[in-house]
Amino acid sequence: MRRIFFSLLALALLLACAGGGWMGYRLLTTGFSAKTQPHPLEVMLARKISALAIPIEQRNLPNPVPVSSTVLQESLAHFADHCATCHGNDGSGQTPIGHNVYPKAPDLRLKETQSMSDGALFFIIHNGIRFTAMPAWSEGDPDKDLESWKLVHFIRHLPQLTQEELDQMKALNPKTTHQRESEASPADLPPGNDPSGTTSGVGHHH
């Protein structure tokens, strides 16, 4: 057991040194631009290091929330409101923010995510990932964070999303001020904000 521990520690240090050297090289050649596409080697190293950073006991935790249609419906609404801005309603990461962060938002439907344990997915949702755009979504006691466990079920469901579910999520996505004003009727808007292009009152101001 002791030998295995030191072997894993040596591997972690080797990966960290290799990753640090690679990041240094990339920094010198590309600067701090978030537009740069990560090199496949960098992606591989980042995944290895992030996997090692999740404690084994956390990775092995079973999901305490039984999956049900109610749980999937609740987590669908949660994902649409909190996660889809970066990950997209379908989990593809094909959004303006998902494209322009570094590293890019992953496609949650693919094997790289779907092969992770429930405990690992929960750990990432609950704690976030340093030096990425992935925030920590809960500051409370992990044992009481059932919302993140429900999201794990929804992530598992992403490859089977139906068009009806996607349409439902679209209606639940956060709206910008411009979108809210475009959808509002003239009676709902304050004077001077008629979306038809006309303004009330005297004169036209810029």
192, 197, 203, 206 alpha-carbon torsion, rounded to 10°: 80
* Preceding omega of 103 cis (within 30 degrees of 0): yes
Give the CATH number for residue 61. Answer: 1.10.760.10
Residue 157 located in a structural domain: yes
- DSSP 3-state of 76: helix
Structural domain for 64, as ranges: 39-175
Residue 149 located in a structural domain: yes
pLDDT in single tens digits along all 206 residues of the chain: 667 766 767 777 776 676 666 566 655 665 666 667 766 766 676 676 677 778 899 999 999 999 999 999 999 999 999 999 999 999 999 999 998 988 889 999 999 999 999 999 999 999 998 878 888 888 788 888 999 999 999 999 999 999 999 999 999 999 877 777 777 666 665 565 554 444 444 444 44
Residue 164 located in a structural domain: yes
Residue 3 located in a structural domain: no
16, 19, 24, 28 alpha-carbon torsion, rounded to 10°: -170
Residue 34 located in a structural domain: no
Residue 50 located in a structural domain: yes
Domain count, the chain: 1
Residue 200 located in a structural domain: no
Gap between the terminal Cα atoms of the chain: 72
